[in-house]
Amino acid sequence: MAYERSVLSSLKASQFRCFDSLRLTLEPGVTLFVGDNAQGKTTILEAACVLLRLQSPRASQLGETIRIGHDACAIGGSLAESELLLQYSEKAGRKLRLDGETQRRSADYLRASELVVWMANDDLALVRGGGEGRRRYLDFMAAQLYPAYRPALQAYDRALRSRNFLLKRDASPRWAEIDAYTRLLAQHGEVLTRHRREVIDRLAPYAAEAQRQISDRDEDLRIAYEPGTTSGDAADDLATELIARRDEEFRKRQTIAGPHRDDLSLAVNNLPAAKFASEGQQRTVALALKLAQSRLFLEMRRRPPLLLVDDVFGELDPGRRNALMAAWPADSQKLITTTHLHWLDDRFASAAVITVTGGQVAPANR
């Protein structure tokens, strides 16, 4: 069955990282970006990601993406029938336009946008690295599925920063003030916890299936939600727990429980993947998580997401490469970066190839 989707048919950027001016036409199927390292390939995918989702997998602040020596950047593109434009300057902040009309609320802009899955070689850190990367993975996914998630996350982060600041500031913490934020954490944290739990529950069977497909073996991947509270999840519980563990917070001078300490546990054949899985198995887990995300988007929104695949292909052995191509959503538009094309075969006959050298792009001869 064919799904409804929006194709990103063009992408433009100016003063964005290494690009003075970038103008690209993109294929509805696959567009390949070829070039050595540090030439700007990843930046192209980042621009697409920022344009569609208003966040970058590489930068926490949009200001970091402005080309050195400039004070503003812009990214634009045609998505289906709509023209998207994002402008960012240190002075005026972020401005969004949809078909030339200024959008005051990001939710209105995002409603016209498309779902995105980001796959990268360093996804291995999802398995080997700390919980922060896994929380970012969950946040990126949940924010695309639940409109209430992003505002809750922003409010939670701000309340958490205020609370931690108050815990550190005074020799004798002022609990009345701190508790004003405790209730806010509980209230917004409840939204995060509920949606994270639902996402992980729905994701689990797809992740397990993808692990079997890619490994072509009976590898059993189990993922589970590990709440950052001892008691579980309900809103009252977090407030109660924080108040009960006041002595500990006084010693550590930080908020010791809540969704900012959530994690996603990953086990292969019943053993924690970070410690006991082989490197090959870990790479498979990282891929499986991203494939599961695509499948979940298909299931929940009935739309194939735009796949941004950064430097993954050249690094995979032929077995995993084939399995990935068999398992990813066939209807998805794909932007793929790679340092070489030796793996390219007939399956990419209709793909466009673009070379990227020193912040310049050009169509390639194949």
Partner 1 sequence: MPVDYPFPVKALIQQLKRLPGIGPKSAERIAIWLMQRGCEATAPFAEALNAAGTEVSECDVCGFFATEAEGCAVCDGPGRDHAVLCVVEQPTDILPLERSGAYRGHYHSLRGKISPLENVGPEDLRIAELIGRIRDGHFAEVILAFSADVEGEATANYLVEILSAFDGVRVTRLAHGLPVGGGLENADELTLYRALEGRVGLR
Residue numbers at the binding site for partner 1 (CB under 8 A)? 105, 107-108, 147-148, 151, 155, 158-159, 161-162, 165-166, 169, 174, 176-177, 179-181, 183-184, 187
Q: Please identify, using beta-carbon distances, which residue of 166 and 324 lies nearer to partner 1.
A: 166
Q: Please identify, using beta-carbon distances, which residue of 23 and 174 lies nearer to partner 1.
A: 174
Query: Least Å distance between CB 154 and partner 1?
Result: 9
**For residues 96 and 102, is the Cβ–Cβ distance under 8 A?**
yes
Distance CA 38, CA 17 (A): 11
Q: Please identify, using beta-carbon distances, which residue of 108 and 317 lies nearer to partner 1.
A: 108
Tokens of 175: 């609990």
Q: Please identify, using beta-carbon distances, which residue of 243 and 349 lies nearer to partner 1.
A: 243
Query: Least Å distance between CB 182 and partner 1?
Result: 8
Query: Least Å distance between CB 32 and partner 1?
Result: 37
232: amino acid identity, one letter: G
Q: Which bin fits 309, alpha (ψ -120 to 50), beta or left (φ > 0)?
A: beta
244: amino acid identity, one letter: A
Query: Least Å distance between CB 155 and partner 1?
Result: 5
**Residue 363's beta-bridge partner residues?**
354
94: amino acid identity, one letter: R
Q: Please identify, using beta-carbon distances, which residue of 163 and 320 lies nearer to partner 1.
A: 163
Q: Please identify, using beta-carbon distances, which residue of 82 and 162 lies nearer to partner 1.
A: 162
Distance CA 267, CA 203 (A): 14
Distance CA 87, CA 53 (A): 14
7: amino acid identity, one letter: V
- 107 contacts: CB under 8 Å, gap ≥ 6: 147, 150
Query: Least Å distance between CB 75 and partner 1?
Result: 23
Q: Map tokens 């701190």 to a residue.
A: 178
Query: Least Å distance between CB 93 and partner 1?
Result: 15
